[in-house]
Structure 1
Amino acid sequence: MRAPSRPLGRGLGARLTAVAATLALGAVAGCSGGSGSSHDAVIVWHGYTDKELTAINALGREWNQAHPDQKVNVTFAGTNDDALKKTLGAFVSGKTPGVAYEFGSSITTLAKRSQTQDLTPLVKAAPAFQWNDFFPAARQAATTPDGKIYGIPALVDNLALVYNKKLFDAAGISYPTPSWTWTDFQNAARRLTDASKHQYGWSYANDGSEDTVWRFLALLWQAGGDLLTPDGKKSAFDSPAGLSAMQLLHDMAVTDHSVYLETGDGQYQNLFNSGKIAMLWTGPWDLSGIPKDVQYGSQILPGKVTHATIAGPDNYMLFNKADRKTAWAFIQWLDSAEVHLKFSIATGDLPLRESETKLPGYQDFLKRYPANKVFVDNLTKFVTKSRPNIPEYPKISQVIGTAVQSVLLGKAQPKAALDQARDQVDAILAGS
């Protein structure tokens, strides 16, 4: 889930809108990866850019040099935001890749397609792959409710509190601590807001998208609530926990005016860097965009009942059955602890496996990306739930996003918004 992607994967970054530009860059990336032509190698689609593009191309070359009879063609296929659309288009054209990077949320759509490979037998037949070594959030995002594995973890991240130290110092406020409560957070945001300077304590994505929703889910879980009932058949968010979460958003945005409501244009990063926003709930994907002269820190999210956060894992998925032997061998290698840690050190992406944190190279990772430690710690301590991997989730997300947006804009009261969303979600789950 990366820059939004983030909630869905990495995608809030630059978007290429021209198809010709995308295809051209894809061809260049594939060639630069030294992966061989598409006629004699398994095609591996991805949406990596910048450091990640360099790193995945280098790994493609490394694999091909060591496995001349099992070559892969590592190819940029457009930004990850467009991965699902492009994959579905490939199903129609018959030019399906052997492997593609997909947002975690796409698994419910792709698992129903005949081209998508059920990886459960392969995982079970490969104990050395150590499936349970992946962080729980990554495994959950790769698995459908019936227990079948359709994805292999490609990325895992989560939300933490990133704050501007200069603004805290100027306001005379102590930096956030692991014991911060919602009250501490709200009070700090209020004190860090200065309308005369157009300065805000916090920023919240308010475009009604999944980027809006996954932050609300973290609040819901922190208050001890949940999105759906355990059997997944009815809504559960219209509860005291849901009301307290929605009330906090209302009070901060409408009463305190301490929240910058971001519309999806990505300006929150520039505003944070320029000292106009003091705190973000964001992930490791934003850290590389903070200039060296901006002093910042990272901390776990504030809590109420818990300090729960939410992960946005993405997957590699396999499609062409004819390519499965090579594709599976390559993905096992790419996701091995040693190889993925090499990728993490080069890019700043979080480790996928717990065993990566025990390798000597992990200390190199922390030295290079010290602010990432809180995100890695979150994966074992505070990522305890995940968004439901059910076909109805995209529609449910739209309903929740609209409800949260209406409250943040002061167009609806928290209880009324929750009640309306509850009725809509229950109707979706009932199939009506």
Structure 2
Amino acid sequence: MIGRWHVAIWIGVVALLVACVAPAPAPRVSEAAPEAEVVTIEWWTVSSEEYSEEAQRGLVAEFEKQHPNIKVNLTVLPESGFDEKMTTTLGAGEGAPDVAFFWNNNWFPEALDLTPYVEADPDFSADLYFPGFWNTRAVWRDKIVGLPLGVGANFVMYNKDIFDAAGAAYPTEDWTADDFIALAAQMTDPEQKRWGGDRPRGPYRAIWNNYGAFLYSDDSMTVDGYLNSPASVAAYTWLWDLVASGSTPTPADIEVLGTEGTGPVDLFLANRLVMATLNQGHMLNAVQADANFGIVPEPTGPGTERYVNAWSLTSSIWKGTEHPDEAWQFLKFWVGPEGQEYLMLNGNLFPSIPSLFEKHPDADKEYVQQFKKVLELKQVAEWRNAHPCDSTVLRAASDAWDLIMLGQIERDDVQATLESVLPAAQSALDECRSRLGG
């Protein structure tokens, strides 16, 4: 009886102790971290010989691998319709892409100011780029409105085989405008239907600037003393001498050749044009044709600086974007070192980032090295971008150019001819300045 009572008490005590012990916690199931929201940005672009649609889609795939929370909806527009669509959507203030080419300077007011992004990004710097392209295609009115994608420039290509056959020395980087005329005359052979050189495409480009000639005053107020300055007269007189040398195709020749689908690069590759002012696309044509050629900057004059007619495509973020941070991540990938290297290796892009030239497939070839040197020169676009009435005034003064190109005035009449177009040029400048708000 007593034993049973003790057993009962013992069982009760054990039960009470068990009841007082906290139950073991259930195994904890870890909660998955919330996935980052996927943001889609719109990118409008075009397809070209420099960057095909396939190459650009490959670039998007590379970007999305590194940024899984950002998707890029790529739209490839025909180049002929790109301007109209951008102008329409930017003007309406809606429907524009987050990221696109802003190659028209009139669109710059609609671009997002990237200055805060560039200044805050430790992995990005304006120093990455050729200074000339940064200054002309990224900076506008003290704001960074985009990044410069790729580069292009004019330079003189010369046929080494014909120079060798003539026993003539190749043109050098420091050659002059007078050297150009002398060499063009030496290389011309009417029996072979061969011209020694070509004519510039227009005034107040590299050669005019190399003479120290500019169209009007820096404050955009005065034409007199600029269009007819000693430097301008000297540059136009050089053109007169080139035309009179008989070493270049005439406008009539160019028109006939044009109807045959024959342009300057075709003449150059056919050994009918020994020196030609061409660009990087023509240079690649010559490389593909296995032509034996060299390149030099356009010839210098008596001016104190050396200029190049060069260009790049401004690539920007629309100021109306709802995803500026994500758009910046894509823009700096596309137009930064990674994207431009990708397009260089998977297309025909020459980058606006000088360090990438070391990675070009033909980095050790003369043409790549010489082209890079051309890109380091001061740009014609620096003056033109700061003086938007340039083209308006040039049209008003075009008679002087036309009369010389057609051989319709005497050499001694060059200055008087420039004087004669001053009133029309000044009126054009005044009208343009007023239209642009002074």
> Are the counterparts in 1 of residues 400 and 421 from structure 2 also a CA contact under 8 Å?
yes
How far 1:182 sits from its partner (Å)?
1.7
How many percent identity over aligned positions? 22
Relative distance call for 1:307 and 1:394 in structure 2 (3 A) is closer
Alignment of 1:316-355 (within 5 A): 316-319=315-318, 320-355=320-355
List gaps (5 residues or longer) in structure 2: 1-37
Aligned pairs for 1:78-117 (under 5 A) are 78-79=78-79, 83-91=82-90, 94-103=94-103, 106-107=104-105, 109-112=106-109, 115-117=110-112
Q: Report what 1:272 is aligned to.
A: 268
Instruction: Tell me how many residue pairs correspond in the alignment.
Output: 376
How does the TM-score come out when normalised to structure 2?
0.76
Residues 159 and 309 of structure 1 are in contact (CA less than 8 Å); yes or no, is this contact kept in structure 2? yes
Q: 1:426 to 1:312 in 2, by over 3 A?
A: farther
**In the TM superposition, what whole-angstrom CA distance separates every residue of 1:202-245 from its partner, at most 9, and x where no partner exists?**
2236xxxxxx33x6420112112333433343343432221221
Which amino acid is the alignment partner of residue 132 of structure 2? A
2:241 is the alignment partner of 1:251: yes
CA-to-partner distance for each residue in 1:33-77, whole Å, 9 max, x for gaps? Answer: xxxxxx973232223324511432321221123223212233321
- Check 1:244–1:74 CA distance in 2 against 1; reply closer, same or farther (3 A cut): farther
Inter-partner Cα distance in structure 2 for 1:302 and 1:343: 31
Give the structure 2 partner of residue 219 of structure 1: 207
Residue 376 of structure 1 corresponds to which residue in structure 2? 372
Aligned CA RMSD, in angstroms, stands at 3.0
**1:392 matches 2:389:** yes
Pair 1:172-2:164 in alignment: no
1:96-122 Cα offsets, whole Å, 9 max, x none, are 22222243xx21x1124xx43233333
Task: Mark the CA change 1:145 to 1:334 in structure 2 (over 3 Å): closer, same or farther.
Answer: closer
1:281 maps to amino acid = T
Name 1:193's counterpart in structure 2: 188
Map of 1:18 onto structure 2: none
What's the secondary structure of 2:311's corresponding residue? coil
Question: Contact conserved, 1:308 with 1:382, CA < 8 A, in 2?
Answer: yes
Cα-to-partner distance string for 1:334-371 (whole Å, 9 max, x where unaligned): 222243233234434333124435xx625x4414x641
Q: Quickly say closer, same or farther: Cα 1:256–1:309, change in 2 above 3 A.
A: same
Partner of 2:229: 239
Rounded Cα–Cα distance in structure 2 between residues aligned with 1:150 and 1:402: 37
Please tell me whether residue 366 in structure 1 is matched to residue 355 in structure 2.
Answer: no
Instruction: Check the 8 A contact 2:343/2:349 in 1, yes or no.
Output: yes
Equivalent-residue separation in structure 1 for 2:317 and 2:232 (angstroms): 38
Query: Contact between 1:344 and 1:365, CA under 8 Å: does it hold in 2?
Result: no
Aligned-residue offset at 1:330: 0.7
Q: 1:345 & 1:417 partners in 2: Cα distance?
A: 50
Partners of 1:51 and 1:155 lie apart in 2 by 9
What corresponds to 1:3 in structure 2? none
Q: Deviations over 1:306-343 (max 9, x none)?
A: 54322222211222422433222111112222432332
In the superposition, relative to structure 1, how do residues 401 and 350 fare at CA in structure 2: closer, same or farther (>3 Å)?
farther
> 2:31: which partner in 1?
none
Q: C-alpha distance in 1, partners of 2:239/2:352?
A: 32
Q: Look at both structures and tell me which one has the larger radius of gyration over its CA atoms.
A: 2
Kept after mapping to 1: 8 A contact 2:98/2:317 = yes
Q: 2:163, 2:169 within 8 Å by CA — same for their partners in 1? A: yes
Structure 1 equivalent of residue 132 of structure 2: 137
Letter in 2 for 1:297: G
Amino acid of the structure 1 residue aligned with 2:351: P
Alignment check: 8 A CA contact 2:43 2:98 kept: yes
| Corresponding letter in the other structure for 2:339 | V
What does the per-residue CA deviation read over 1:376-413, in whole Å, with 9 as the maximum and x for residues that have no partner?
11233454862422443442454466643442122455
Match of 1:295 in 2: 292
Once residues 194 and 354 of structure 1 are traced to their aligned partners in structure 2, the CA distance between those partners, rounded to angstroms, is 40
Equivalent-residue separation in structure 1 for 2:123 and 2:368 (angstroms): 28
Q: 1:366 to 1:401 in 2, by over 3 A?
A: farther
Q: Which residue of 1 aligns with 2:27?
A: none
Q: Distance in 1 between matches of 2:50 and 2:140?
A: 34
Code of the aligned partner of 1:153: P
Q: 1:417 to 1:45 in 2, by over 3 A?
A: farther
Quickly say closer, same or farther: Cα 1:69–1:283, change in 2 above 3 A: same
- Counterpart amino acid of 1:180? W
Q: 1:47 to 1:249 in 2, by over 3 A?
A: farther
Residue of 145, 148, 157 corresponding to 2:152: 157
Structure 1 residues 300 and 381: CA distance shift in structure 2, 3 A: same
CA distance in 1, matches of 2:172, 2:332: 39
Equivalents in 2 of 1:281, 1:165: separation in Å?
A: 15
Q: Distance in 2 between matches of 1:40 and 1:128?
A: 22
What is aligned with 2:218? 230
Unaligned residue ranges in structure 1 (runs of 5+):
1-38, 206-211
